[in-house]
A and B are shown apart, each in its own frame.
Chain A
């Protein structure tokens, strides 16, 4: 079983649809993240959850709504998206500690907004 599992791997949705991305980590970590990866741009941090509390929200539009019901699960709820939101959405987890936190990524969910 892989460390961080994301579903679905591919999603096509219309601009008026509502869908959700799901992430589960099997590493016993206490922090989870959503990153967005667009072509030719660095990975962009969207949200950070530490001990199930949202600790960072990088000016993400409200059409993206995260949910972290427990330390192993993370969701990204999507509604009324725009075509420019098409990207690879990566979930990650880490164990927070004093020195640099190594984060481990899932395989990503490819989102296409039509």
Chain B
């Protein structure tokens, strides 16, 4: 069964304190791995797509990396506006849907 597990469930950091969020997955075949950001009361906002192990993508203070079993979302020198829930999802082979993890709720204190 295709499955996505995100850790930690919640993370509280001080402004400027870098850290990483983890997304572990098991799929029969991977067509893509996705990261989204979701602010309270809003729909998820697309951040990155990764397709193969070793791939990396960056956007401002965020960098996503991918291995054959997991993905990391690295946050460098975060600011309070980076506070949100970060969702990871995989697109399994042969499926027309994404399978989501439960998310990591990130809080950056000023």
A binds B: yes
Q: A residues touching B (Cβ–Cβ < 8 Å)? A: 4, 6, 31, 33, 40-43, 45, 48, 50, 55-56, 90, 92, 96, 98-108, 110
- By a CB distance below 8 angstroms, the chain B residues around A105 are 36, 43-46
Please, how many angstroms separate the alpha-carbon atoms of A80 and B110 in the complex? 46
- By a CB distance below 8 angstroms, the chain A residues around B98 are 45, 101, 103
Known: A100-B51, A102-B34. A110 touches B41 (CB 8 A): yes
- By a CB distance below 8 angstroms, the chain B residues around A6 are 43
When the two chains form their complex, are residues A50 and B96 in contact, meaning their CB atoms are under 8 A apart?
yes
**Contact flags (1/0) for B71-103 with A, using CB distance below 8 Å?**
000000000000000010101000011101111
Q: Interface extent on B, as a size class? A: 20 to 34
How many residue pairs, one in A and one in B, have C-beta atoms under 8 Å apart? 64
When the two chains form their complex, are residues B97 and A100 in contact, meaning their CB atoms are under 8 A apart?
no
- By a CB distance below 8 angstroms, the chain B residues around A110 are 41
**Contact flags (1/0) for B32-60 with A, using CB distance below 8 Å?**
11101000011111100101000000000
Residue from B43, B87, B91 in contact with A107 in the complex, judged by beta carbons closer than 8 Å:
B43
Residue of A nearest to B49 (CB): A102
Residue from B31, B41, B89, B97 in contact with A48 in the complex, judged by beta carbons closer than 8 Å:
B97
- By a CB distance below 8 angstroms, the chain A residues around B36 are 105
For the complex formed, measure the closest distance between the CB of A20 and the CB atoms of chain B, giving whole angstroms.
Answer: 19
Q: B residues touching A (Cβ–Cβ < 8 Å)? A: 4, 30-34, 36, 41-46, 49, 51, 87, 89, 91, 96-98, 100-103
In the A-B complex, the 8 residue pairs with the smallest Cβ-Cβ separation, listed nearest first, are: A100-B32, A105-B43, A100-B91, A43-B100, A100-B31, A42-B100, A107-B43, A42-B102
When the two chains form their complex, are residues B96 and A90 in contact, meaning their CB atoms are under 8 A apart?
no
Residue of A nearest to B95 (CB): A56
For the complex formed, measure the closest distance between the CB of B9 and the CB atoms of chain A, giving whole angstroms.
Answer: 9
For the complex formed, measure the closest distance between the CB of A11 and the CB atoms of chain B, giving whole angstroms.
Answer: 14
For the complex formed, measure the closest distance between the CB of B92 and the CB atoms of chain A, giving whole angstroms.
Answer: 10
- By a CB distance below 8 angstroms, the chain A residues around B96 are 31, 48, 50, 55-56, 96, 101
Residue from B30, B32, B100, B102 in contact with A102 in the complex, judged by beta carbons closer than 8 Å:
B32
When the two chains form their complex, are residues A99 and B51 in contact, meaning their CB atoms are under 8 A apart?
yes
